[in-house]
Amino acid sequence: MRAEIITIGDEILIGQTVDTNSAWMAKRLNSIGVSVAQITSIADTREHILSSLKEASERADLILMTGGLGPTRDDITKKTLCEYFDTELVMHDDIRERIESYFAGRGIPILEVNRQQAALPAKCMPVENLRGTAQGMWFDHDGTVFVSMPGVPFEMKGIVDNHLLRMIQERFETPHIEHLTMMTQGIGESRLSDMVQDWEDSLEAEGISIAYLPSYTSVKVRLTSIGPDAEAIKAKVRRKADEFISLAGKYVYAEQDEAIQFTLSRLLTDQGLTFASAESCTGGRIASALTAIPGASAYFMGSTIAYHNDIKEGELGVKHETLMVHGAVSEATVREMAEGARSKFGVDYAVATSGVAGPSGGSDEKPVGLVWIAVSSAKGTIAKEFRFGKDRARNIDRAVHMALSMVRDEILG
């Protein structure tokens, strides 16, 4: 079956709001075997809504819409849907009562425009919104299903998870779609593809497609197969993934789609290890990445953001002579930072970063993008130099990623 997503709202088109709804819905649809063929964002006007519905209906079996539903006069979606499906609004007393109870329970005066949210097109089947007052609407028209939902992500997600996925599975026969994503680092997309060329050539005969998804910190390798037998599909994809891992070896850091901090978090937890960071150019981002994960208190002991040299000396024990002779951005300094953090926090592993994030502050000897990272443990201290580039945000992101990756590599030996 073919599905399309339409997001409605001028705020998306002028860049005021980022459309996260489409990506989330596509992922949830994919989990039940529904592939999304097209995503469209349109203006909140009658003409655009009507033309988009007509065009999508000629291509898709299922059309999901978000946006344009709310208790304000500029929300015209319901009236336009009435026009498209040649119907009229009718009041649903049970929904009106729920809306009144919703406001009464919060001690908020209700307005007539709030009550009017219970007026829905007569040809739709209401889809209950447990998180707000704008109801979802299901239309089954000429073999195509149209679903209109509010654009507020929290409300839309509730409708999808509480009702819509089940309704779609009851209405359509959906195949099983199996995705398996492996995370690689330290190798470019083209070199990686060349390394596994013979393996890659074997995938088509197995009915498996491959996608390389590069970023400036890693390359995702996604395998996909579709079929009616879920267990057979899973086994086939798993087997080919294992073949890839044996070929790519050290470049694979995770066998699922996840950022490096989740991989390291699991590793620290499983092995009962403790960790701390000493950060200069990353400014606390390493600590933030790990403490954002539930359960981080089991392994993360603390961090020192040593941006100024006085803090490097006073809090981490970096020698004054080291800073004077080698400078803050140097192998010697970052080694002493990592060793100081390990001692200060009493941890198994400590990582330290110091670099020239940019866009200013570089020199011929130490250009923008130069970052030193060190990891200290009972095995000793290692340090590596990186030269990332000119963009400050990317330099910090890459430094965080590589710091966490170096810790992982040290734990695994």
Q: What is the pLDDT of residues 49-60, one digit of tens each?
A: 999 999 999 999
Q: Check whether 72 has a pLDDT greater than 70.
A: no
The residues, ordered by sequence, that sit 6+ positions from 112 with a Cβ below 8 Å of its Cβ are none
Taken in order of first residue, the domains within the chain and their CATH numbers are: 2-171 (3.40.980.10), 176-254 (3.30.70.2860), 260-412 (3.90.950.20)
Tokens of 190: 């083209």
- The mean pLDDT value of the chain amounts to 95
Q: Read off the pLDDT of residues 376-385 as tens digits, 9 standing for 90 and up.
A: 999 999 999 9
Q: Read off the pLDDT of residues 172-187 as tens digits, 9 standing for 90 and up.
A: 988 889 999 999 998 9
**pLDDT band, residue 74 (cuts 50/70/90):** low
- Output the CA torsion sign for 48, 53, 58, 60: positive
DSSP 8-state symbol, 67: -
Q: What is the pTM of this model?
A: 0.74
Q: Check whether 409 has a pLDDT greater than 90.
A: yes
Segments of 150-280 assigned E as strands = 176-184, 209-214, 219-227, 252-254, 275-279
Tokens of 312: 């490097």
Q: Read off the pLDDT of residues 243-274 as tens digits, 9 standing for 90 and up.
A: 999 999 989 999 999 999 999 999 999 999 99
State the Cα–Cα distance between residues 253 and 4, nearest whole angstrom.
34
What's the half-sphere exposure (Cβ side, CA atoms, 13 Å) at 263? Answer: 24
The residues, ordered by sequence, that sit 6+ positions from 101 with a Cβ below 8 Å of its Cβ are none
pLDDT at residue 262, rounded to an integer: 97
Q: Are 331 and 373 in contact, with CB atoms under 8 Å apart? A: no
User: With DSSP H G I counted as helix, E B as strand and the rest as coil, what are the percentages for the chain, rounded to 5?
Assistant: 45, 25, 30
Tokens of 309: 């040299």
Q: Check whether 396 has a pLDDT greater than 90.
A: yes
pLDDT at residue 272, rounded to an integer: 98
Tokens of 201: 């050539």
Q: Which of 39, 67, 72 is nearest to 151 (CA)?
A: 67
Q: Check whether 165 has a pLDDT greater than 80.
A: yes
Q: Check whether 353 has a pLDDT greater than 80.
A: yes
Query: How buried is residue 318: exposed, middle or buried, by Cβ count under 10 Å (0-12/13-18/19+)?
Result: buried
Helix (H, G, I), strand (E, B) or coil at 117: helix
Kindly state the helix (H) or strand (E) to which residue 373 belongs, with its residue range. Answer: strand 370-377
Q: Read off the pLDDT of residues 23-45 as tens digits, 9 standing for 90 and up.
A: 999 999 998 989 999 999 999 99
- 3-class SS letters over 243-266: HHHHHHHHHEEECCCCCHHHHHHH
Radius of gyration of the chain (CA): 27
Q: Check whether 326 has a pLDDT greater than 90.
A: yes
